[in-house]
Structures are given as C-alpha cells and as structure tokens.
Amino acid sequence: MEKQNLIHRYLILVVFLGLLCSDSKAQNPTPSPNSESLSLVSVQFDKWRNNEASFFELLDDDVVWTISGKSPFSGIYQGKRNFIECAVNPILEKLKTPLKPELISLTADSLYVWLHFKAIATTHSNYTYENNYLWKMDFRNNKIIKCTAFFDTHELTILMYKNNITMNKTIEETKQYIGMWVTKDGYIRHELLPNNRYDEARGNRKSAYQGSYKIKGNHIDYKDDTGFTADGYFKDGILYHAGMILYKE
C-alpha cells in the first residue's frame, strides 16, 4: 500500500512538472526566424521617418528589387546600385520635400518581413504625391536580399510625367537618341549616328565596335558588323545596353 502511494505521488509530481514546463513555453514562445529582421526594419523605418537615415541602408549590395505592375518603372532591378540609380534617385529628384513615411503595419512570418506604410511629399511643381506601399522583404545576414514592392504605380507615373509635354512621345519620335552616350567613368563612348549606324570606343580603342541600329519606341536593337546582335532601352534620358548604363553627353 505504501509503495502504491509513492508511485501515485511520483505520477502527480511528473504531471505537475510537465504543466510547469508547458506554461513556461507558453510564456516564452520560440522567437520567429525573422524577429531580428523585424526589429531592424522597425529601427531603420523610424530613422527614415525622422530624416536621420535612408531606409535603403538595409539593402544588400546584390539585392534583387522587384516593382510590381506594368508601369514604366515596373520590373526587376538587379543590385543596390542599379536600383538606387534607376528607380530611387529619379523619383527623389521630382520631390521638393523629403518623402515622409507613416507606418501602417509591420509583421513577419517564417519567410518574409512585411512592411506596409504610406508616404507623402510635395513635388517641385507643388503637386502632392501620396502613395501606399507594401514591401515583402527577404533577409539574410541582417540585409535585404530580395524585395517585392506593391503600390499604386499609376500615382508614380503621374509623379514622373506630370507637366511633361513630351510624356506621350517616345525616344524614336523625339530623335533624342542621336548623339554620344557615355558611361559614368568615361571608358565607353557610344555614338548613335543619324544614319542608323553606331560607333563605340572603349578606353583608347577607337571604333572598337561598329554596326547598325534600329529604334522602335524606346527600344533599340543593334547588329554589329561582325554579326553579333544586342539590344537596350531608353528610360528617363538614360540608355541601358548590355549591362551598361550610359548618359547623353
């Protein structure tokens, strides 16, 4: 009988300890894999809102940033530098006041950090730009390696082209493609001639590549005299061709 009482007490103790462990786990849940990233985004967003730092300091150098939709700015931007130069800076140049973000929600699951916010600013033409954004971010080593941005791309298009009398004209119609296009370091000098021929110099090599080109809308197709082909496109006065970024001289 005494032995049975001991066993009975032992079983009660086991059950009691099990309940304690269960309650402890409930009070101290396992942190989400993205909890640290969530904190990073929260801190950086506050700095951005207070004009203390750019949110894009969190971007990895090799980030892949995707803008949803079918606007002129929609697409995939490979690398931080490409994204900042081709997507961020052209927008900021249109604004007279800093873009003021206001947090709507910030959440995380096992895969992504989700940032939902609205932002407002005044343009140089005193037009009020306002938009709502949802960014789906993938982190690695405390850096954003992938992001898909959802927002009203129609509002962005209005911002970029409002009061622009040539907004409906392509580079083909304006003939603004004719002339010298140069990389920022000056190494590549790419001249588009009026007779639909091109002549490209590289460093000290004059006429390193020559051939013909054809413009359709804002798209350009090349055929080199040696037989290979390439293409590119014009956007906001910049020529993107074969991985290069060229500016009109």
Distance CA(192)–CA(190), nearest Å, equals 7
The gap from C-alpha 169 to its chain's centroid, in whole angstroms, comes to 26
Q: What is the pLDDT of residue 245?
A: 95
**Cβ atoms 218, 211 nearer than 8 A:** no
**Is the separation of the CB atoms in 157 and 142 below 8 Å?**
no
Structure tokens at 120: 């407002």
* Per-residue model confidence (pLDDT) at position 11: 45
pTM > 0.85: yes or no: no
Q: Strand 205-216 and strand 113-122: pairing?
A: unpaired
- Tokens at residue 1, please? 């009988």
Confidence at residue 33, expressed as pLDDT on a 0 to 100 scale? 67
Q: What is the largest CA-CA distance in the chain?
A: 109
> How far is Cα 230 from Cα 244, in angstroms, rounded to an integer?
12
Calpha distance 17→12 (Å, rounded): 9
Instruction: Name the phi and psi angles at 24, rounded to 5.
Output: -65, -40
How high is the pLDDT of residue 141? 94
Question: What pLDDT is attached to residue 153?
Answer: 86
User: SS3 for 127-190, per residue?
Assistant: CEEEEEEEEEEEEECCEEEEEEEEECHHHHHHHHHCCCCCCCCCHHHHCCCCEEEEECCCCEEE
Where do we find the tokens 């020529």? 239
Angstrom distance (rounded) from CA 121 to CA 131:
9
Predicted pLDDT of residue 28: 52
Q: H or E segment at 207? A: strand 205-216
Tell me the two tokens of residue 202: 């590289």
For the chain, 249 residues long, give each residue's pLDDT as a single digit of tens: 554 555 555 545 444 455 545 454 445 555 566 889 999 999 999 999 999 999 999 999 999 999 998 777 888 999 999 999 999 999 999 999 999 999 999 999 989 999 999 999 999 888 899 999 999 999 999 999 999 999 998 888 888 876 553 445 788 888 889 999 999 999 999 999 999 999 999 999 999 999 999 999 899 999 999 999 999 999 988 999 988 999 999
Q: What per-residue confidence (pLDDT) applies to 208?
A: 93
Strand order in the sheet with 128-140: 75-78, 59-67, 143-151, 128-140, 113-122, 100-108
Which parts of the chain fold into alpha helices (H)?
2-27, 35-49, 80-83, 89-92, 153-161, 171-174
DSSP string, 50-95: TTSS-GGGGEEEEEEEEE-SSSTT-EEEESHHHHIIIIIHHHHTTB
Q: How far is CA 59 from CA 17, 41, 63, 124, in A?
A: 46, 11, 6, 28
What domains can be seen in the chain, in order of their start residue? 35-161 (3.10.450.50), 171-248 (2.40.128.290)
